Structure 1
Amino acid sequence: MTHDQSTVRVLVLVGSLRSGSLNRQLAQTAITTAPEHVEPTMFDHLGELPHYNEDIDTATPHDAVNALRTAAANSDALLVVTPEYNGGLPGAVKNAFDWLSRPYGESALTGKPAAVIGTALGRYGAAWAHADARKTLAIAGAQVPDDIELSIPAKNLNGLHPQESDDIVASLREVWSQLLRHVQN
Structure 2
Amino acid sequence: MSVRILALVGSLRAGSHNRQLAEAAVQHAPEGVEIVIHEGLAEIPFYNEDIDVEGDVPAAAAKLREAAGSADAFLLFSPEYNGTVTAVLKNAIDWLSRPYGASGFAGKPVGVVGTAYGQFGGLWSQDEARKSVGIAGGVVVEDAKLSVPGSVVRFAELHPKDDAEVVEQLPLVLARIAEAVNAAPVA
Q: Does the alignment reach a TM-score above 0.5?
A: yes
Per-residue CA distance 1:93-121 (angstroms, 9 max, x = gap): 00000000000000011000000000001
Per-residue CA distance 1:132-179 (angstroms, 9 max, x = gap): 000000000000022121111125736321111122111101111211
Matching of residues 84-103 of structure 1 within 5 Å: 84-103=80-99
Matching of residues 16-165 of structure 1 within 5 Å: 16-58=11-53, 60-155=56-151, 157=154, 159=156, 160-165=158-163
Partner Cα distance (1:158, 1:136) in 2: 28
Unaligned regions of 5+ residues in structure 2, if any? none
Task: Report the secondary structure of 1:36's partner residue.
Answer: coil
Partner Cα distance (2:129, 2:155) in 1: 26
Task: Report the secondary structure of 1:11's partner residue.
Answer: strand
2:137 maps to a residue whose letter is G
Shift of 1:36: 2.4
The residue number in structure 2 matching 1:181 is: 179
Percent identity (aligned): 47
How many pairs are equivalent? 180
Shift of 1:19: 2.3
Task: Report the secondary structure of 1:102's partner residue.
Answer: coil
1:56 maps to a residue whose letter is I
Partner Cα distance (1:141, 1:56) in 2: 22
Partner Cα distance (2:173, 2:83) in 1: 23
Partner Cα distance (1:17, 1:158) in 2: 17
Moved more, 55-64 or 11-20: 55-64
Task: Report the secondary structure of 1:147's partner residue.
Answer: strand
CA contact (8 A) 2:143 2:173 kept: no
Partner Cα distance (1:104, 1:11) in 2: 21
TM-score by length of 2: 0.92
The residue number in structure 1 matching 2:2 is: 7
CA contact (8 A) 2:78 2:113 kept: yes
Partner Cα distance (1:170, 1:19) in 2: 25
1:20 maps to a residue whose letter is G
Shift of 1:180: 1.2
1:101 maps to a residue whose letter is S
